[in-house]
Amino acid sequence: MHNHTVGRAGYPDRDGFVTLDACIMDENGNCGSVGAIQDIAHPISVARLVMDKTPHVMLVGDGARQFAIEQGIKPEKLLTAESKAAWKKWLKKAEYSPVMNIENKQARQGSKYNHDTIGMLALDAKGNIGGACTTSGMAFKMHGRVGDSPIIGAGLYVDNEVGGATSTGVGEEVIRNVGSFLVVELMRQGMSPEEACKEAVARIIKKKPEVAKQIQVGFLAINKKGEYGAYALQEGFSFAVCDNNKQDLIIPGKYFYKEVK
Ligand code: ASP
C-alpha cells in the first residue's frame, strides 16, 4: 500500500480520519457524488449508487457512509499503520503544506505527504462520453474539508454534445474557477482539449498568481472526436491513454512552470 493519495492507505485528515471524495457522470447528464465519506474503500462505487439509486446527486459524511452500508458495501478501516505513522509525524509540526507532483516525488525520494486524484474520461464506440474521479483529497486537511473531486463542474464535467474534463491538484483553486465545466464550455466554443485545459489553468493563474506558482493543478479533457489534451500549472502532471492502438501510454502534460527539483 504505497499510494497515499486515493482510497485505502490514503493519508488522513489532521484529526486522523481518512475521508474520501468521488463523483461520476454519464452521457445523459446523470451524476452521483460522495464527499468526505469514511470507511469505504471504493467511494466511486457509492457515487455510482447515488446516481443510479437515489433522487439526489450528492451525499456527504455520515449520510453517505450509511447509504453505502445500506447498499451492501462493507465498511473497513482505511488508515494503514504506515499512514498513521506519517500522520503522527506530521502532528509534531502540524503544518499544512501541499507538496506538488507527489507521484513523481514518491518515486524519487520515498513516500511523502500529499495529494492526488484519479480522474478518468471515456468515449465509447457509439461516441458517448462518461467520466469519474476519486481521491482521498489533501493530506492533513481540516476534518470535513471537501475538495473539487466530488463537485460536478469542478473536479469533473461531461456534456455529451461537446466532451468531458476532469482535474487534479489543489481543489480549492479548481472550485473557485469551476474548472472542469469551464474546460468543456471552452471546447464548445471551438478550442481543442489542450487549448481549453490551458485556458482554464491560465484563469487560475490570473485569479491568484502568487498561489498558482506554489501549487499544482492539472486538467485533462476529451472531445467528441476522441481528441484529448491536458495542461497543468507545473511540470510533472502526466496522463495515460488507452485506445485500440495504445494501452497504457503515459503522456507528459504541458505546463506553465518548470518544476523546481
Ligand atoms: N483535487 C484533489 C483535492 O483537492 C486533490 C488532488 O487531486 O491532488 O481534494
The residues annotated as belonging to the active site are: 117
pLDDT tens-digit map of 134-164: 999 999 999 999 999 999 999 999 999 999 9
Expressed in angstroms and rounded, the spacing between residue 83 Cα and the centre of ligand 1 is: 18
In terms of Cβ atoms closer than 10 Å to its own Cβ (0-12, 13-18, 19+), residue 157 is buried
Q: Which of 116, 141, 142, 172 most suits a substitution to test ligand 1, by most atoms within 8 Å of the C-beta?
A: 116
Give 260's pLDDT tier (boundaries 50, 70, 90): low
Per-residue pLDDT at 107: 41
Please give the average per-residue pLDDT across 109-123, as a whole number.
Answer: 73
Per-residue pLDDT at 1: 54
For the chain, give every domain's residue range: 117-260
Instruction: Say if residue 227's pLDDT is above 80.
Output: yes
Please give the average per-residue pLDDT across 194-206, as a whole number.
Answer: 98
Per-residue pLDDT at 185: 98
Per-residue pLDDT at 247: 79
Q: Which residues line ligand 1 (CB under 6 A)?
A: 21, 115-117, 135, 137-138, 147-149, 168-171
Instruction: Say what the pTM is.
Output: 0.92
Please give the average per-residue pLDDT across 39-53, as a whole number.
Answer: 97
Instruction: Say if residue 183's pLDDT is above 90.
Output: yes
Smallest CA-to-CA distance from 222 within 252, 243, 237, 244 is with 243
Q: What percent of the chain stands above pLDDT 70? A: 91
Expressed in angstroms and rounded, the spacing between residue 147 Cα and the centre of ligand 1 is: 6
Instruction: Say if residue 244's pLDDT is above 80.
Output: yes
| CATH for the stretch 117-260 | 3.60.20.30
Is the pLDDT higher at 116 or at 98? Answer: 116
Per-residue pLDDT at 44: 97
Give 7's pLDDT tier (boundaries 50, 70, 90): confident
Whether the Cβ atoms of residue 102 and residue 114 lie closer than 8 Å to each other: yes
